Amino acid sequence: MLGTPDLEDFLTLANRDPVANVFALYRARTTSLEPRWLGGEMWGRFDNGRLVAACHVGANLVPIGCDVDDARAFAERALTRSRTCTTIVGPHEPVRAFWNAVAGTWGRPRDTRWMQPHLVISEDPQIAGDPLVRRTDRNDLSLVYPACVAMYSEEVGVSPEAGGTTDLYRARVTQLMTRGWSFARFEGGKLIFKAEVACATAEVAQIQGVWVPPERRGEGLAVRGMASVVRLVRKEIAPTVSLYVNEWNQPARRAYRRVGFKETQRFSTIMF
C-alpha cells in the first residue's frame, strides 16, 4: 500500500497521462495518499524499486498507469479481501483485465459499460455559448439538488438517496457549489441545464453530471450550455477539459462533437 512517502513517485507515474488520470491526481494531491483522508487505499506495483503501476481502492476502484499484467496483479490482491468498491472505472483494457480476473468471485454487477468514449477539449469552442449559464451558489440549492438527483437516477439507474444517503449526497452537491464547480442555466424559476466539475488539477478538469430536463431536450441547450461551461472552466479552473460518455448516448456524443470535444481513448465502468 502506498502512503505519503510515495507521493512524488505516484505523481510522476500518474502524470504520464494527466488527462486520463485526473481523478487519481486530484485525489493524491488533496490527500497526500494518507489513507484516512483517501477513504481507502492506493496500491502500488514496483519493478526494481520503481513504481510502475497503481490502483485506487475505495468506493471507486481505478487502475492507474496499468497494462494488462498490472491489472491482473492488482486483481489477485483484490481477491484476498472482500469487495469494497461500488464502481470499477478507467481505461478499457486494464478494467477488462481486472474484471475478468475477479468476476467469478465478485458476482454479477448491476451494470457494465464497456466502451465509453473519453473526450477532451483544450481550446475554446468555435460555437457560441449560452450567456445565461453561470456558476451556482447555495441560494440555488433548491433547484440544483433535485436536478442532480434526477440526473444521477437516470444515468446510474438508482437514486443517490437510496439507503439513507440523502444527507451525504446533498453535502457533495453543496461542496461542488462552494468550490465554484457547479454550473447551470435557469429559466422561469426552473433549472434547464446543468453540469459540474467532478475533479480537477491545475492542468485538467473532468466534467460530470451534464443534464437537461427531458421536456427541454432537443433544443440545443446542452450544446450551448457546454460551450459556456468549457470556456468558464478553461479560463478559471484548468486549460484542458475532459469527460467520458456512454457509447450508446448518441445525442450527447453529437452535442460534445459540436462543442469541439475529441475522442482520445475508451473507458469502461462496472457498477455494483
Residue 28 is predicted with a pLDDT of 97
Answer whether 236's CB lies under 8 Å from 180's CB. Answer: yes
What mean pLDDT comes out for the span 223-235?
98
Question: At 163, is the pLDDT very low, low, confident or very high (cuts 50, 70, 90)?
Answer: confident
Give the C-alpha separation, 54 to 43, whole Å: 5
Q: Is the pLDDT of residue 117 over 90?
A: yes
The architecture in CATH of the region 4-108 reads 3-Layer(aba) Sandwich (3.40)
As a whole number, the mean pLDDT across the chain is: 96
Residue 190 is predicted with a pLDDT of 97
Contacts for 153 with CB less than 8 Å, ≥ 6 apart: 159, 160
Q: Is the pLDDT of residue 216 over 90?
A: yes
Question: At 164, is the pLDDT very low, low, confident or very high (cuts 50, 70, 90)?
Answer: confident
The domains of the chain are located at 4-108, 134-265
Q: Kindly report, residue by residue over 90-106, the tens digit of the pLDDT.
A: 999 999 999 999 999 99
Residue 27 is predicted with a pLDDT of 96
The enclosing H or E element of 210 equals: strand 204-211
CATH code assigned to 134-265: 3.40.630.30
* Packed helices 141-156 and 166-179: angle between N→C axes, nearest 10 degrees: 120
The enclosing H or E element of 235 equals: helix 221-236
Amino acid letter, residue 124: D
